[in-house]
Amino acid sequence: MIGSFQKICNGIEKEFARNRALHGERIHCGPGCTQCCHQLFQISEIEAAVLSAGVRTLPEPTQNQLRARAQEYAGARARLVSEKGEQEAWGGLPPEGTRLACPALEDGVCTVYQWRPFICRKYGMPLWNPDRPGRVYACELNFQAGEEIEDGRLIQIQTALHGEQKQLQRDWDRRELPREDRPLTVARAILEDFSGWVQTTEATSGA
């Protein structure tokens, strides 16, 4: 399953590169552009497993800094959700008053970049979600509201990527791997050790 996870990551990165080539300077994502890193979002079990395992390979001082920020984030997130509900501006920027910096963010750079979840890899390019087919979503810093996005391949490519993610989750469930009742977040993947799930996925790879 880790191979399937990496295949999807590679597919997303290829799609992002295609969009950069197509849209040029309109996509100016890079270090220091972090508004999308203030989103409240949840991650899947396999994303949590990969992230958790990756964090535990970092130097101990870095891990300690991440845990301190994650602990602070967890409390702030709980208060924000209690006051305003679960805010999630899929594909765009979070509304004012609902923004909270990801605990992995440090000086405008993601400290867990190579293990980041799928959605973090997608932000910035125009997004198509078959589950929300009414519109193409895009970051307001790259594309103006109502701006026409011409791309004859977007729906086909991103529908396929979406299907691969769905299949990965079905494979996880089919193998009866752990499922969490509470929302999984980047903060939880830092604070709690889900790295054992990586070995579990490999142990059941023939299931």
Contact 111, 66 (CB under 8 A): yes
Residue 141 tokens read as: 């810093």
CA distance 128 to 187: 27
Residue 106 phi/psi, 5-degree rounding, is -140, 120
The reply to whether 28 falls in a domain is no
Q: How far is CA 14 from CA 18, 117, 202, in A?
A: 6, 16, 26
HSE-up of 201 (CA within 13 Å, CB side)? Answer: 24
Chain centroid to CA 189: 12
Q: CA-CA distance, 167 to 159, in Å (whole number)?
A: 12
Classify residue 22: in a domain, yes or no.
Answer: no
**Tokens describing residue 104:** 């992995």
User: DSSP string covering 7-59, please?
Assistant: HHHHHHHHHHHHHHHHHGGG----TT--GGGG------HHHHHHHHHHHTTS-
Residue 29 lies in a domain: no
Structural element, H or E, at residue 105: strand 105-106
Domain count, the chain: 1
Q: Which domain holds residue 129?
A: 2-13+34-201
> Does 27 reside within a domain?
no
Report the DSSP beta bridge partners of residue 110. Answer: 105
pLDDT digits (tens, 9 = 90+) for 101-115: 999 999 999 999 999
Q: Does 112 fall in a domain?
A: yes
Query: How far apart (Å, rounded) are the C-alpha atoms in residues 81 and 77?
Result: 6
Within a domain: 145 = yes
**24 falls within a domain:** no
Q: Is residue 81 part of a domain?
A: yes
Rg of the chain (C-alpha set): 17
- The CA distance from 164 to 8, in Å, is 7
The pLDDT averaged over each successive group of 10 residues in the chain (207 residues) is 94 97 92 89 95 97 98 95 76 78 94 96 93 87 85 96 96 92 95 88 60
The predicted pLDDT at position 99 comes to: 87
